[in-house]
Structure 1
């Protein structure tokens, strides 16, 4: 890894990673920071976030963060205003990582379930990408990464809404990649299989 870092560096770049206090998001934050990027992250849980920030600071990593409920449009806009101020109007990397899964049969999902899953997994990612667009364009080297899932391509049991949200993410990735290429903004999605994170561990216990 040390040899790789000598060949590849993100020094001088800025990144926003949503849901960075645990799981995949935590690993992404740490990896980007280890390669020299200035990273900002957010979480709904203030205690978890502060614990993570303390760990990263002790490691000498340049990571900042704040509390944000991504289901709230107002809080998303506030987050992006903070990013604009902290990073002087330019953002190189946006990682739409935050996500939630609720395991139920399709016939049992409620309106609240729908709002939580689609609001967190799709609406928040779409809106953040929209309002980050001026900052990404200003960087002249913008990158948007959506954390999708194999559930967006394959039918998995008890995950119909989650799968729908990730399928929407996959299609949005294609559209934004075409629309924003002229602005030097690359748009990609990553579709992992099952990764043992706190979210998965909770689902297994249930």
Structure 2
């Protein structure tokens, strides 16, 4: 694997050279910032987006900076596309993954009585089902790396009421609890699970 340009001025302590990372939804918002930072510290990063033109633009931007960045077109609400994404990650990183950032999320802010069955299903599928399934698929790659890390991007809405909508809040609360369970269950495989609860809900991507 080629060396990335590490632009950090913090010294070798902060180097991620040799690390591999998957960031879902890495072409916008928090995900885009995470890809930037991981790649700037020297990690080889794979990301995904539903929009091919957006993904291509971001990859060109990162590669022009000397970053090791690759990507896949993937709608994480689709189980077959999630499986294809992880197959591409396994191929790109020779069956080993060090860092998995579960970032994709969406929201509809509504009073509880106004949610349709379709909206409820979409929020659960994108925010919770995809994260759970992707962790299942990522587990053998993280285990094979020797020491792996899963980072969930959650929300304070999963802990207290922020007026973000009851379905979104329920999804994030479930993500927080999923993190605790994976941290305990997969510790024996040298995989740690971490959750970051930010204060603002994700926009509808």
What TM-score, normalized to structure 1?
Answer: 0.93
Give the aligned partner of residue 170 of structure 1.
176
Answer 1 or 2: which has greater helix percent.
1
Whether the 8 Å CA contact 1:142–1:186 is kept in 2: the answer is yes
Match of 1:104 among 102, 110, 113: 110
CA distance in 1, matches of 2:108, 2:83: 26
What TM-score, normalized to structure 2?
Answer: 0.93
Whether the 8 Å CA contact 1:5–1:35 is kept in 2: the answer is no
Q: Secondary structure at the match of 1:123?
A: helix
Structure 2: tracts of 5 or more residues without a match: 1-6
**1:35 to 1:158, Cα distance in 2 relative to 1, 3 A:** closer
How far does residue 3 in structure 1 lie from its aligned partner after superposition?
3.2
Give the aligned partner of residue 199 of structure 2.
193
Give the aligned partner of residue 3 of structure 2.
none
Whether the 8 Å CA contact 1:18–1:41 is kept in 2: the answer is yes
Map 1:154-169; keep pairs closer than 5 Å.
154-169=160-175
**1:21 to 1:5, Cα distance in 2 relative to 1, 3 A:** farther
Q: Secondary structure at the match of 1:173?
A: helix
Give the aligned partner of residue 90 of structure 2.
84
Deviations 1:90-149 (A, max 9, x none): 000110000001111000001111111110110000000001100000000100000000
Deviations 1:41-92 (A, max 9, x none): 0000111111111110111111000110101000000100111111000000
Whether the 8 Å CA contact 1:105–1:158 is kept in 2: the answer is no
CA distance in 2, matches of 1:41, 1:121: 17
Whether the 8 Å CA contact 1:149–1:190 is kept in 2: the answer is yes
How far does residue 26 in structure 1 lie from its aligned partner after superposition?
0.1
Aligned CA-pair RMSD: 1.5
How far does residue 2 in structure 1 lie from its aligned partner after superposition?
3.5
CA distance in 2, matches of 1:64, 1:5: 25
Runs of 4+ in 1 over 4 A off after TM superposition: none
**1:96 to 1:5, Cα distance in 2 relative to 1, 3 A:** farther
Map 1:92-131; keep pairs closer than 5 Å.
92-131=98-137
CA distance in 2, matches of 1:5, 1:117: 41
Question: How many residues of Structure 1 are paired with residues of Structure 2 in the alignment?
Answer: 199
Matched, 1:44 2:81: no
